[in-house]
Amino acid sequence: MLRKENTEFVEGPTQRTLPGRAFERPLQAVLIDGPHAFPFPQLEYYYLYPHIASDGLLILDDIHIRTINQLYRFLCADKMFELIEVVERTAFFRRTTAPVFDPFGDGWWLQSYNRKRLSRYIWREILMSSMPQQVRALLRKSRAAVRSGLSPRERYLIQIDLPPQNSVVDETAIVQGRADLPSGACLWLFARRADSSGWWPQGRCVTVSDNRWQQACKFGEVSDAGYAFDIAAMTTDERGQRRILRWFDEGARSVTWGPIDLPKPVAGSGVVTTRVFRRAD
């Protein structure tokens, strides 16, 4: 039975009413069944999810519609919610005790739904990383030989000497190597946990002196102890440099530094990688 004395009706499109709504206490049950066009279901979720109490219900109706099914699949993967049941085309979720995802940050790579990126856009990188180091080295040499035959000036050496392949490292380590850079190019060092698909730049453009270089490299956070990490060294042109520098600037503004795809290397050079293992605590 409806208790009118405890009920408040707010009329109008949720696109207008929810952004200005102040919730005075945690919500025990939330039903998302408003406008179905993109991105309005996601907009409703954005303004409601920070206020749902632990063990509270989130009910998502009409999951047969693609825009809402996308939100449904996201919730199924998210740590904040546990799928209880799907009744016909309505999904019932329970709010877990996981911390609230920062509604004013980014951190997209921390969300389980985003951990596996779409392979059709990064299949070359996935294919190369799945090959043994010896095979990758052979392919790089073959590619360099072909390019050298076409233009002797387009062949540049990049090498990682330390740390050795499959060695054990601490949270940070000095990576050393050799490089013969084309004019105007910049050497960059990247790292990532081996089960990730994106990369994190390690500092700014690396200084190369007498064809030698070294750069400090950080291998994740405390929770990444014991995992394998990939290191990549490559050269970029001015366009690639601007893209990486923009990543630094945007990260400084938002205080979040998510992974990026590797930029295109300078013609005549490639991406040199090696794998290490972070010491287990």
Name the token pair of 121: 């856009």
Listed residue (81, 82, 79) closest to 114, CA to CA: 79
Q: What is the pLDDT, as a whole number, of residue 9?
A: 84
Mean pLDDT, rounded, for 251-255: 75
Q: What is the pLDDT, as a whole number, of residue 148?
A: 46
Say if residue 154's pLDDT is above 70. no
The rounded distance, in Å, linking the Cα atoms of 281 and 205 is 31
Q: What is the pLDDT, as a whole number, of residue 126?
A: 62
Residue given tokens 């940070």 in the structure block: 172
Say if residue 151's pLDDT is above 50. no
Say if residue 32's pLDDT is above 90. yes
Average per-residue pLDDT in the chain? 84
Task: Report the chain's terminal Cα–Cα distance, integer Å.
Answer: 57
User: Which phi and psi (to 5°) does residue 124 adopt?
Assistant: -65, -45
Say if residue 251's pLDDT is above 90. no
Q: What is the pLDDT, as a whole number, of residue 152?
A: 42
Mean pLDDT, rounded, for 32-39: 92
Query: Which of the listed ranges 88-92, 179-183, 204-208, 224-228 does the model predict with the highest average pLDDT?
Result: 88-92
Taking every pair of Cα atoms in the chain, the longest distance, rounded to a whole number of angstroms, is 84
Q: What is the pLDDT, as a whole number, of residue 73?
A: 94
